[in-house]
Amino acid sequence: MVHSVELLFDPDADAAVRRIWDGLNAVGVRSQAANRSPSNRPHVTLTVAQDMAEGVDEALRPLLDLLPFDGLIGAPMLFGVRALILVRLLVPSALLLHVQREADRVCRPFIATAPMPHTAPGQWTPHVTLARRLPPEQLSAAMAVPGLGTDIRCRLVGLRHWDGNNGVEYPIS
């Protein structure tokens, strides 16, 4: 499992993404809505590592001074080749890229190895996950879901540390 640091959306954007999750499920595409954990919510992952040492939450608190800020959930995208991951791009703004670089900088002393390469500054693609392990034959049904391609104005209002090893979320406040 992994640890991650994530940005959270305002209630309206959260609800808009959840409607897309539900729309995907309605056409037979297993979306993130299938995860019934109370901690499952739309988010944007800033950094990921195999483990993060105690103290990282306190170290992340100064990043709260950068919140909230406006964003735009934009185009649908795909990651992967055979087992596709359907996501929506969070359009990168200068502030969003700054927040991600700061999260990476703050977390590095708390990570024994290195963050996952795809979350390194300059390699990171800001996105919101809609569905994992999407079979290619379901792609056309997924793309036809109402709202999937409509821009969503959002505010990034929260920050959390997700401990996937223990299934625990730590809101940074």
The model's pLDDT over 109-168, given as tens digits with 9 standing for 90+, comes to: 999 988 898 999 999 999 999 999 999 999 999 999 999 999 999 999 999 999 988 889
Per-residue pLDDT, 6: 97
Query: In CATH, what number is assigned to the domain containing residue 67?
Result: 3.90.1140.10
DSSP output for 102-155? HHHHHHGGG-SS---GGGSTTT---EEEEEEEE-GGGHHHHHTSTTTTS-EEEE
The pLDDT of residue 74? 98
Of 43, 71, 67, which is closest to residue 162 (Cα–Cα)? 43
Q: Is the pLDDT of residue 101 over 90?
A: yes
Confidence class for position 32, pLDDT limits 50, 70, 90: very high
**pLDDT given at position 114:** 82
Give Cα 31 distance to the centre of its chain. Answer: 14
102 alpha-carbon distance from chain centroid: 16
CB-CB contact of 131 with 24 (8 Å)? yes
Angle at 13 between CA 7 and CA 15, to 5 degrees: 115
pLDDT in tens, 50-98: 999 999 999 999 999 999 999 999 999 999 987 899 999 999 999 999 9
Q: In the block, which residue shows the tokens 């309206």?
A: 12
Which CA distances in Å does 134 have to 13, 76, 130, 167? 23, 13, 10, 24
Range(s) of the domain holding residue 128? 3-172
- Rounded-to-integer distance, Cα 142 and Cα 136, Å: 10
Question: What is the pLDDT at residue 110?
Answer: 96
Determine the Cα–Cα distance for residues 24 and 145; give it in Å rounded to an integer.
6
Which tokens is 60 given? 């992340």
Question: How many structural domains comprise the chain?
Answer: 1
Residue 38: predicted pLDDT: 78
Cα separation, 103 vs 80, in Å, equals 25
Entry pTM: 0.94
Q: Is the pLDDT of residue 1 over 80?
A: no
Token couple for 1: 């499992």
